[in-house]
Amino acid sequence: MSQMLAARFIKFLIILQLVSLLNALLVVKILNVECSVNESYVENASCILKPANRDESLFYLNADLVKPISNVTMRMKLLKKNHANQFQPFMLNAEVNLCDIMDNRVGSRYFLVFKQVIKEHSNLVHSCPYSGHLMVKDANLDTKLLPAAPPLGIYKLSLIFREAITKDCYLKIVLEAEFRDIRGLKY
C-alpha cells in the first residue's frame, strides 16, 4: 500500500515539474489597457502601458482616492479570443472582497496570483481601508505564478472594483494580453 502511495506521489511531483517547465516556456505581453474611473471616488487617474522590450509590456496605474474606501469588491472576468476574433468567457468570472484577499481570507488560486502581482508592483500591500495615492508600477504577469499553463492566444482580463454595499464602481481596468510560446520567438 505504501509503495502505491509513493508511486502516486512521484507521479504527482513529475506532473508538477512538467507544468512548471511549460509555464517557464511562456511569455505574456500586454497588448492594450483601458481604464475608467468614477470621479466622485477617484481623481487624477492615469493608466498606461510601456514597452519593456519587444516581448514584454509593463502596466502603470496612478490614481488619487477622493475619500478613504474600506469595503471593496473586485469582479475578475477572463475572456479568450476565439478563431472568429470574438472574446468568449474563459474559466474565470468571480467576485470577491478585496479586503479579504489582502487579509489572506480567500484561498482561490487566481485571486492569490492577483495578490502576488499587487504585492510586487503596487502600494496596495496592506488591508483595508485604502486612501490617498494608489500606484501600480512595472506590472506584468509572471507565468510561474499560474497554477497551469494556459492555452496560447489572446486574452482579455476585466477587473471591476466596486463599493460592496452600494455597488458604486470605483475603477474598471481591462487588459488585453497575449500568451506566447517563448520557443517561437525570433531573436
- Chain segment 30-45, per-residue pLDDT in tens: 999 999 999 999 999 9
Confidence grade of residue 164 (pLDDT, cut at 50, 70, 90): confident
Grid coordinates standing for 146?
499560474
Is the pTM here over 0.75, yes or no?
A: yes
What is the CATH classification number for the domain harbouring 178? Answer: 2.70.220
Q: What is the mean pLDDT of residues 87-108?
A: 85
Straight-line distance from the first to the last Cα atom of the chain, in angstroms, rounded to the nearest whole number: 51
Domain assignment of residue 156, given as a range: 2-184
Helix (H, G, I), strand (E, B) or coil at 27: strand
Banded pLDDT at 18 (limits 50, 70, 90): low
pLDDT at 14: 61
User: What is the three-class DSSP state of 95?
Assistant: strand
- The rounded distance, in Å, linking the Cα atoms of 174 and 33 is 6
Q: Which residue has the cell 479579504?
A: 100
Q: How many domains does the chain have?
A: 1
Which of these ranges, 83-92, 116-125, 128-137, 140-149, has the smallest mean pLDDT? 140-149
> How many helices and strands, by DSSP H and E, does the chain display?
3, 8
Which of 146, 165, 166 has its CA nearest to residue 157? 146
Bond into 129 cis (ω within 30): yes
What is the three-class DSSP state of 11? helix
